[in-house]
Structure 1
Amino acid sequence: MTKGFALAIHGGAGVVPRTQMTAEREAACRAALSRALRAGETVLAAGGAALDGVTAAVSALEDEPLFNAGRGAVFTRDGRHEMDAAIMDGKSRRAGAVAGIAGLRNPVQLARAVMEQTDHVMMIGEGALTVARDAGLAFEEDAYFFTQERWDSLQDTLRMQAEGTLDDDLSRRHGTVGAVARDRQGNLATATSTGGMTAKRAGRVGDSPIIGAGTFADNATCAVSATGDGEAFIRRVAAHEIDARMRHIGQSLADAAKHVVQVDLATHEGSGGLIAIDSEGNIVMPFNCEGMYRGSVREGEPGQTAVYE
C-alpha cells in the first residue's frame, strides 16, 4: 500500500518461451519496459494525473518494436496491421476505444481523443482516423511498422496453418501492452493497446478495446489492463469481474484478480494475465502462462521489471 503514486505496466503475456529466450533479448525487453516505466513515472512524480501517466507509459510501449502494439504490431493474415486501444478514467468512468486502426503511431492517444473530443466510447475505421487527424496525432508510413520478426512470424504461421501443423506457441496468440496507475490524488486510470493476433482474420477485434473485458477502471475498486487470449477475456468479462468481486463480495484486489486469472480464465482456455491496481495503490500482476513482460514502481521506491515467475 502507498499514499503516493503507483504505476504498473505490461508488455504482453505472449513471451518468448524461456528455453528460447537469450540473455540479450531478455535484457532488451527489460530495458524497453524500464523506459516505458520511466515515462509514466515522470508524469506521476511531477504531480500528473493517473490518466496522463498511463497515456505516457503506453505511448512509450507502442514505440518499442519488441512488443505487439504500435510500431511492433503483428500482421494480419493479409499482411496488414489492425491495431486496437482503449483508455479509461477511474474518477469519472469516462472511456475511449478504437479498433482496426492502421497508420497511427500511437493508437492509445486516439483512444484518449475519442474519450475527450467526441460523445462516443468506441470508434473504428475512417471515422476514428478523422478524429486522429483533427487532434493532430502522428501518422507513419507502412515501413515504420514493419519488423522482420513479425513478418517472419506471419509467414511461419501461414505455412503451419496450410500444413495443419500449427503449434501452441502463445506468442502467436498473445501480445498487448498496458498500464494502470494511481496518482497522488488517489485517482485510478488504465490504458491498453495491441496489434492483435498473428495471422488473425481482417476485422477481428480482441478484448483490449472492450471496456470491461480487457480494460476497466473505477476509483471505488480498481484499474485493470489485460493481456492474453482475447476471446476468452471477452467471454468472461475479465476486467470487470475483478471489480464486481471487490464491489459485491468484498474481496481484496489480490484475491479477486487471482480468482479471475487462475480459475475463471484458466479453466476456460483463457491463457494470459493482467495488471491491476486498487485505490490504496496495491498492485497485482497475475498470469497463468509461462511469463508476462511487466514492471512496476511506487513513489519513493526503485522500479522493477520481470518476464517469468
Structure 2
Amino acid sequence: MRIAISICALMGLVAVSAPRTFAQEQPAHHWAIVVHGGAGVIEKSALGPDGDKAYRAGLDRAIHAGAAVLDKGGSALDAVEATLHVLEEDPHFNAGKGAVFTREGKNEMDASIMDGATLMAGAVAGVQRVHSPISAARAVMEKSPHVMIAGHGADDFAASVGLKMEEPSYFFTESRWQGLVKQLKKQNMPIPPRPAGVPPAGEEIPVAVVDESEGSGVHGTTGVVVRDRKGNIAAGTSTGGMQGKMPGRVGDSPIIGAGTYASNKSCAVSGTGTGEYYIRLGVAREVCNLVQYRHMKLQDAVDEVIHKELEALHGDGGVIAITPDGQLAWSFNTPGMFRARLVEGGQVQMGIYRDEP
C-alpha cells in the first residue's frame, strides 16, 4: 500500500512539473487606442470655430487610421505608425508637414517608437528630409543596431532603407512661418530669409499658437499609445519641437523614457510638454514605474506625475497612457490638450479644452 501511494504521489509530481505539449493560445483582447496632438494654452476664443473643427477632424482621421489596422488584427506597432502618419501629414499639427521652425528658419523634426512586448525602440532627432519621421524611427529600431540616429545621418539612413524623402520645402506651411516671424520680432531677434523653394506668402490656416517664449503657447507634439488584440502595447511620438528653438535642440519626444516608453509589464506612454522638464524627470518611464513597482492604477499614476512631480519642477504639459489590461488615461496641467481615445466596439471620446471629459 505504501508503495502504491508513493508511486501515485510521484506521478502527481511529474504531471505537475512536466511541460504542457499542447498549444497555449493567448486570450483575445479588445484593442484600444489613445491619441494626443499637443497640450498647452488652448482656448476656444483663440482657436476659433474653424480651428476647433479642423483639429477634431484631424484627430478623428488619425484615430480611425489606427483603428483600421487593429480591426484587421494588426499589431500595436503598425497602428502607432499608421496613426502618426495621418498627423504628420496634417498641417494643423506640429509634426511632419506643419512642423515649426528653428530660429534659423528650418524644420528639425524628432520621433520615437517603442514596442512594449520586446522593449525594442527606435528614434530620430533633427531630421529635415524624411517624409515620415515616425517611419524613420521604426526603421532605426528594426533595421539598424541603434536606438537613436540624429541629423543628416538619420536622413541618410532613412533614404538608404527606401523611405520616402522630401525637399525641405515640403514641410513648410505659411501659418508656422508667420508664427516664427511674429515670435522673433517680439524677441528682437533677426528674421531668417524665407526658405528656398516655398511659394510666395499665402493664406494661413487656423493653428494653435506655439510661441513658447513666454510660456503662453502650445507644446505641439503628436503621440499615440495602443493595445492590440494580442494584449501587446506600443507607443510613438512625433514632433517638430519648439518654435524658435536653437538649431540642434532636441526635446523629450525622441528620448526613450522621457517622451515615449512602453513595456508590457507596466504601460505605454506618450508625452507632450516642455521637453527639458520631461527629460529631467523621465516622465514616460516615471509613469510606468509607478504602475509597475507601486502598483498604482494608471489614472492615479499619470496624475501623480503630471500634477505633482512635473509641477514641482514648474513644468507643464500632459501625457496619454494605456496598460496591457486595458486601462486608458490622460492627464494634463494646461488649459487644454488635443486628445481622443477609442476602444474596440465603442465610440470615439474626444476633447480639446479642460472642461471636456
Counterpart among 53, 65, 79 of residue 27 in structure 1: 53
Partner of 1:303: 348
**Aligned 8 A contact 2:42 2:353 in 1:** no
Once residues 106 and 112 of structure 2 are traced to their aligned partners in structure 1, the CA distance between those partners, rounded to angstroms, is: 21
Partner of 1:192: 237
Counterpart among 243, 257, 268 of residue 288 in structure 2: 243
SS at the partner of 2:169?
A: helix
SS at the partner of 1:78?
A: coil
Does 2:75 match 1:80?
no
SS at the partner of 2:340?
A: strand
Deviation at 1:21, TM superposition (A): 1.9
Partner of 1:182: 227
Partner of 2:154: 128
How many residues end up aligned between the 2 structures? Answer: 305
Moved more, 202-211 or 6-15: 6-15
Once residues 146 and 349 of structure 2 are traced to their aligned partners in structure 1, the CA distance between those partners, rounded to angstroms, is: 36
Once residues 256 and 220 of structure 2 are traced to their aligned partners in structure 1, the CA distance between those partners, rounded to angstroms, is: 18
Once residues 344 and 232 of structure 2 are traced to their aligned partners in structure 1, the CA distance between those partners, rounded to angstroms, is: 15
Partner of 2:185: 159
Please give the per-residue CA displacement for 1:183-210, whole angstroms capped at 9, x wherever unaligned: 0000000000010011000010000000
Partner of 1:259: 304
Counterpart among 208, 213, 237 of residue 253 in structure 2: 208
**Aligned 8 A contact 1:15 1:293 in 2:** no
**Aligned 8 A contact 2:42 2:352 in 1:** no
Partner of 2:336: 291
Counterpart among 101, 106, 120 of residue 127 in structure 2: 101
Once residues 65 and 179 of structure 1 are traced to their aligned partners in structure 2, the CA distance between those partners, rounded to angstroms, is: 18
SS at the partner of 1:180?
A: strand
Give the partner amino acid of 2:182: D
**Aligned 8 A contact 2:231 2:324 in 1:** yes
**Aligned 8 A contact 2:43 2:353 in 1:** no
Deviation at 1:250, TM superposition (A): 1.2
TM-score, length basis structure 1 = 0.96
Deviation at 1:15, TM superposition (A): 5.3
Give the partner amino acid of 1:79: G
Unaligned runs of 5+ in 1: none
Partner of 1:271: 316
Once residues 158 and 89 of structure 1 are traced to their aligned partners in structure 2, the CA distance between those partners, rounded to angstroms, is: 39
Unaligned runs of 5+ in 2: 1-27, 190-210
**Aligned 8 A contact 2:29 2:228 in 1:** no
Please give the per-residue CA displacement for 1:185-244, whole angstroms capped at 9, x wherever unaligned: 000000000100110000100000000000000001100000010000000100000111
Partner of 1:169: 216
Does 2:51 match 1:4?
no
Moved more, 207-216 or 246-255: 246-255
Larger Cα-atom Rg: 2
Does 2:44 match 1:44?
no
Once residues 118 and 97 of structure 1 are traced to their aligned partners in structure 2, the CA distance between those partners, rounded to angstroms, is: 11
Runs of 4+ in 1 over 3 A off after TM superposition: 165-168
Once residues 44 and 270 of structure 1 are traced to their aligned partners in structure 2, the CA distance between those partners, rounded to angstroms, is: 34
Once residues 40 and 182 of structure 2 are traced to their aligned partners in structure 1, the CA distance between those partners, rounded to angstroms, is: 16
Partner of 2:142: 116
Deviation at 1:77, TM superposition (A): 0.1
Does 2:263 match 1:218?
yes
**Aligned 8 A contact 1:104 1:140 in 2:** yes
**Aligned 8 A contact 1:15 1:307 in 2:** no
Deviation at 1:170, TM superposition (A): 2.1
CA RMSD of aligned residues (A): 1.5
Q: Which has the higher contact order (CA 8 A, sep 6+)?
A: 1
TM-score, length basis structure 2 = 0.83
Deviation at 1:144, TM superposition (A): 1.9
